[in-house]
Structure 1
Amino acid sequence: MDYVKYREPFQRDGYVHVRGFLTSQELVELRKEIHRFVAEVAPALPDNQVFYADRADGGRDVRQIHRMHCDPFFEAYQSHVKWTALARDLLGEPVTCRSPIYFNKPPESDFPTPPHQDNCAFALNPPHGVEMLLAVDENFDEETGCLRYVPGSHREGLRKHTYSGVRGFALEIADFGPEDAAREVAVEMEPGDVLCHHPLMIHRAHRNTSPDRSRSGFSMWFRGESARIESGQTDAYDQNAHRAQEFGW
């Protein structure tokens, strides 16, 4: 597996779209395990690990699942050869994987993802890492709330972030404005595609306005061996995350 060809656009733009990253068989297996986790494992997890969206009919849908390595399948999946090879080729050095996360935007749910840079939470110095998001069940498109990137923003440093009140995305860029929005590129994906972005890439996503399609994604995050974690910055983020967990939406 050689993904070196994706390194140049990743370094230039701050993100890269790898179409058909997983084969049909690989996607079917991963999808089955994600659905099993959501149905059988998630209900027993604490509310600081699984976030829900309430439905009008009184039910609720899973919105986010963190620390999926608590399950044996996903603990082993952190070492998946294909994902690790892609991360290594993008960064040009050995990598370490962070625990997988499941992101879901249920149909007609009012949960936009605020504009942010991942390094406000990950605190890598230097910011040598990559976040990967795989489309699981349905297309990521304008209706379901695809990712929106500001190309080149990863070369402009870390912007000031402020408390957002959103569970799972506790901080947002304080001064995100029309100039940023004018530079945005909306990136649509099909199931099995993966989007990879730099820790300083500015990105967000609108709410899912589809009446019948969920926007479910599976995320793997990798840190290059040259990067260290600034514990003081992660502590500050965790304080905001706890605040959003208790008082946010």
Structure 2
Amino acid sequence: MDTKALKSTFDRDGFVYLPGFLSAAQVTEVSERLKRFIAERSASLPPEHIKFEVKGDGTTLKMLQDLHVYDPFFADVLFNSTFSKLAEDLLEEEVIGKTVEYFNKPPKVGKATPPHQDGYYFMLKPMSAVTMWMALEDVDAENGWVSYVKGSHKLGMRHHAFTNTLGFSQGIPDFGIPADTEKEVFFKTKPGDLLVHHALTIHRASPNTSEERTRKALGLIYFGASAAEDVAAKEAYVKALNQTGP
């Protein structure tokens, strides 16, 4: 990778797209590890680390959080990998790996991810952080592709409000103004493709409207070493994140 070019694109747009970041073999290994983890460990996870799109329906698994805490394989992915090196290159400082997450949008019932900025949840000063999203299968408009508002990371924090969406409790209520839609970029991705965005970049994901396709992905979050976390604000974020709503 041309690190200088990547950094330039990241600073300009607030995100970078890296097709084929992991090989097919590496994606298979990650997917198999996830499959094994779900089968063997998910039932024992605390409720704040596992979420289902439809409450009580085990076939609608939506999210697993903090995988690195429970499995050394995912700890290595977070702390000792090309992902952490990329985060350092983009933030131009040492980074602290915060979490590895599994995301899925089950067919027909996978809800949209509301437009938001991760930094609203992170509560950092300075706002030195990146989120990574890696496709584990083909993703397009039908099953929940991701989009970013180009350059939105330069405009500061937008107002957020409660969304009633499990796992994404806060969103931008006035999203959809021309400044958003005219600069929004959607990504059709294949397994192993990686998207990385700044903590202030506005992004969202479509619902899964397909009849039988899932939409599985891996997420990683890194904070820059210079970023100081507001502990009280973060506790409030965690509480809001884990609200199930009606």
The alignment's TM-score, normalised by the length of structure 1, stands at 0.91
Paired with 1:59 and 1:127, the residues of 2 have a C-alpha distance of 36
SS at match of 2:236: helix
Q: Superposed, which structure 2 residues align to 1:51-200 within 5 Å?
A: 51-54=51-54, 60-69=59-68, 70-136=70-136, 138-179=137-178, 180-200=180-200
Range 37-46 or range 15-24, more displaced = 37-46
Deviation per CA, 1:86-125, whole angstroms, max 9, x where unpaired? 1111111111111201110011124110110001111121
Higher strand share: 1
CA–CA distance in structure 1, aligned partners of residues 20 and 175 of structure 2: 32
| Other structure's SS at 2:147 match | strand
Contact conserved, 2:24 with 2:191, CA < 8 A, in 1?
Answer: no
Structure 1 CA distance for aligned equivalents of residues 129 and 223 of structure 2: 4
| CA distance in 2: counterparts of 1:98 and 1:140, whole angstroms | 25
Shift of 1:59: 5.3
**1:79 and 1:59, CA in 2 relative to 1: closer, same or farther beyond 3 A?**
closer
Give how far 1:60 is off.
2.3
Runs of 4+ in 1 over 3 A off after TM superposition: 1-4
Partner of 1:210: 210
Residues 37-48 of structure 1 mapped to structure 2, 5 A cutoff: 37-48=37-48
Contact in 2 for aligned 1:113/1:207 (Cα 8 Å): yes
Contact 1:38-1:62 within 8 A present in 2 as well: no
Structure 2 letter corresponding to 1:240? A
Deviation for aligned residue 1:240:
1.9
- 8 A contact 1:65–1:101 mirrored in 2: yes
Question: What's the secondary structure of 1:75's corresponding residue?
Answer: helix
Task: Provide the C-alpha distance between the structure 2 equivalents of 1:122 and 1:203, rounded to a whole number of angstroms.
Answer: 15
Residues 30 and 153 of structure 1, relative CA distance in 2, 3 Å threshold: same
Unaligned runs of 5+ in 1: none
- The 1-side partners of 2:202 and 2:59 are apart by 30
- 3-state SS of 2:79 partner: coil
How many residues end up aligned between the 2 structures?
A: 244
* Preserved contact between residue 52 and residue 58 of structure 2 (Cα < 8 Å): no
SS in 1 for 2:48: coil
SS of equivalent residue, structure 1 residue 166: coil
Per-residue displacement from partner, 1:199-236 (whole Å, max 9, x unpaired)? Answer: 00001111011222111110111111121112232133
Please state how far the C-alpha of 1:73 moved relative to its aligned partner. Answer: 1.9
The separation in 2 between residues aligned to 1:48 and 1:235, in whole angstroms, is 13
What aligned pairs does 1:205-244 form with structure 2 within 5 A after superposition? 205-242=205-242, 244=243
Q: Residues of 2 paired with 1:187 and 1:16: CA distance?
A: 11
- RMSD across aligned positions (CA): 1.9
Instruction: Give the whole-Å Cα distance in 2 for the aligned partners of 1:215 and 1:3.
Output: 29
CA contact (8 A) 1:2 1:89 kept: no
1:47 Cα deviation after fit: 2.0
TM-score (norm 2): 0.92
Whether the aligned pair in 1 keeps the contact of 2:126 and 2:227 (CA below 8 Å) is yes
Report how far residue 181 of structure 1 moved. Answer: 2.8
Deviation at 1:187, TM superposition (A): 1.2
**Letter of the structure 2 residue corresponding to residue 142 of structure 1:** A
